[in-house]
Structure 1
Amino acid sequence: MRADDLILFSQVVELGTFSKVAEQNNLTNSVVSKRIARLEEQLGVRLFYRTTRKLTLTEAGKALLAGAKNVTQATQEAIDAVTGFGENITGHIKMSVPTISGDLLLADAVAEFCDQHPGLTVDMSLDNRFVDLVEGGYDLVIRTGYLADSSLIARHILDSQWVVCCSPSYLARHGQPQRPEDLLQRNCLQYAYQTTGASEWEFKGAQGNYIVRVSGSFSTDNPTALRRVALRGSGIAYVPRCLVYHDLLEGKLVDILPQQVGKKLGVYAVYPFTRQPPKKRILRHSRRFFICAYKALLPAAP
């Protein structure tokens, strides 16, 4: 079985007709048909139901499709890894990143990338909501959490661990919580941008993760404001570790209940599928750079 036949099969599924695949690959319809027939013969199964109007995947075809997509993606990534070195990158990239990522991690990386490529401009929007990539004209989005839109391409970067923390002065006044339920008697500072809700804090339990519904005097959707309130000793916060990493190292904040915090969210680079060669070349370099920069700049757990 040849990898290029699997790639061709994946293209037929995506484009829907042999003629479109033939045009994209500078082949004839008969060549595409023969290669799909060869693949079916090698596998001993029929992959498509063919009519004069359309192609429909068989059950065997559906089973093969996932693997064929993996081969296609791996091939493209291998090509991307070695092409474009020494090219002049010019053009415009519109991207959206969460406020924490933009404030703490990516602003310097984006500026460095633009310095490396004088003909490139980047419009970086800081927004916690999941924007519509197509309607908004975004080329690249960094997002956390569960991604359900299969029309988008998502590359996992890393997992973001969350922490429960407060200032030493708050602990001195109110004591160290020994278990998550003790937080019900504390002033909990709430970050309104959370998948489970600002007052619903996730912890590990013997039967799996569970939620403790806390309350407190302060809630905000701005992570910088939440950090400042925690630093001044007003209460306990439940936030991504990267937001308070240096504060924890310097002893300005204390990581409490470290073994019981259950929240960990995937961080993804998300982008729409495009066949525009100039734009694709720009995005190939920018995605590779920003993903590497994100991994390098996001501190390890202290």
Structure 2
Amino acid sequence: MNEYHCSKNLLNMIDELKSIAIFSTVVEQGSFRGAARALNLSPSVISYHITLLETKLDTALLYRSTRKLSLTEQGQQLFKMSTNMLKTVEQGLSDISAQQEALSGRITVSLPTVLIRSHYTRVLADFCQQHSRLEVNFHFSDVYENLIEKGIDIAIRLGDLPNSELKSKKLGNIKRKLTCSPAFLTNNPLPKTPEDLENLPWIKLSSLPNKRTITHPELGKQDIHFDYQVTANSVEGMTQLCMEGLGIATPADFLVEQALREKKLIELLPNWQVTPIPAYAIWPNNITKKSATMAMVAHLAKAIT
């Protein structure tokens, strides 16, 4: 008896879902005949399913006239619900289908060296494990090379992007810490205000100007223009030199979490935050939607944004 009722309820639900899909098509097409053509059904079948829904719900869903259809308030509610439902189902089927399509071939991805020990690399490693037939060439470099000339399929770039014909998607922001070492403070005073920072030596990153913007939740933004003796061409190098006591630096937060915990570095002016650096995925504009490149972009966007 229970199995009979279960089967009957399931069949009723299937009919109702079919009727809802047909109702949604009627609204989108603007007429019963339009829906019939779109679904390759007869107008009488379309009418049957709309009547079935209205009977089930005990309310009118559509106002019918010779010229056009219009929705009742209940019809508007059902159409909104059905549209969301159908989009969810369609997206789910699309995601499953995409997962089943085994990616193969070869792809080259370029990342700056600062991301070697970041969650970006972990996310990309997960992508490689999911697609074992795909050969992935990782190119870690702080030189932003031309993607087309170097045969790079996708790159992660930090900072504002120049105008170009490349496609791009913002993935997130790289947070930074304002730091120095305990050894630095044995020879220099502890800065207590943003102005104090301008009177202390910094370690300059060669790819950035000798200026940083810091923000306070109440006092707003302030630009810091600093002097420097030492320059480094990589963030990791800058961070290590900072730990050696050569100056103030603003490394990525994930690079210095452990050093801060172990008191090898000190966070300065903790109420002030260094402006984060945006991270983007970029790729050539002629890449097809079903390519390994776009699959990697989608994976990065889903895991990071």
- Output the TM-score relative to the length of structure 1: 0.62
| 2:232 aligned to which of 200, 220, 226 | 220
What do residues 27-56 of structure 1 show as CA deviations (whole Å, max 9, x unaligned)?
A: xxxxxxxxxxxxxxxxxxxxxxxxxxxxxx
CA distance in 1, matches of 2:293, 2:236: 30
Report which of the two structures shows the higher radius of gyration computed on alpha carbons.
2
| 1:240 aligned to which of 236, 241, 252 | 252
What do residues 71-93 of structure 1 show as CA deviations (whole Å, max 9, x unaligned)?
A: xxx99x95864431233221111
Change over 3 Å in CA distance of 1:83–1:122 after alignment to 2: same
Give 4+ residue runs of structure 1 displaced > 6 Å after superposition: none
The equivalences for 1:158-237 within 5 A come to 158-194=172-208, 197=209, 199-204=210-215, 209-237=221-249
Partner of 2:84: none
Q: State, as a whole percentage, how many aligned pairs show the same letter.
A: 24
Change over 3 Å in CA distance of 1:84–1:165 after alignment to 2: same
Q: Could you tell me whether the CA contact under 8 Å between 1:183 and 1:214 is conserved in 2?
A: yes
CA distance in 1, matches of 2:126, 2:112: 19
Change over 3 Å in CA distance of 1:165–1:122 after alignment to 2: same
Are 2:157 and 1:143 equivalent residues in the alignment?
yes
Are 2:277 and 1:271 equivalent residues in the alignment?
no
The equivalences for 1:1-302 within 5 A come to 78=91, 81-149=95-163, 151-194=165-208, 197=209, 199-204=210-215, 209-274=221-286, 276=288, 280-292=290-302, 294=304
CA distance in 1, matches of 2:251, 2:194: 15
Matched to 2:267, the amino acid is D
CA RMSD of aligned residues (A): 3.5
Matched to 1:135, the amino acid is E
Task: Give the secondary structure class of the aligned counterpart of 1:134.
Answer: helix
CA distance in 2, matches of 1:80, 1:259: 45
- Output the TM-score relative to the length of structure 2: 0.61
Task: Give the secondary structure class of the aligned counterpart of 2:108.
Answer: strand
CA distance in 2, matches of 1:292, 1:249: 30
1:116 is displaced (CA, Å) by 3.5
CA distance in 2, matches of 1:99, 1:218: 20
Q: Could you tell me whether the CA contact under 8 Å between 1:164 and 1:237 is conserved in 2?
A: yes
Query: What are the ranges of 5 or more consecutive residues in structure 1 without an aligned counterpart?
Result: 6-73, 296-302
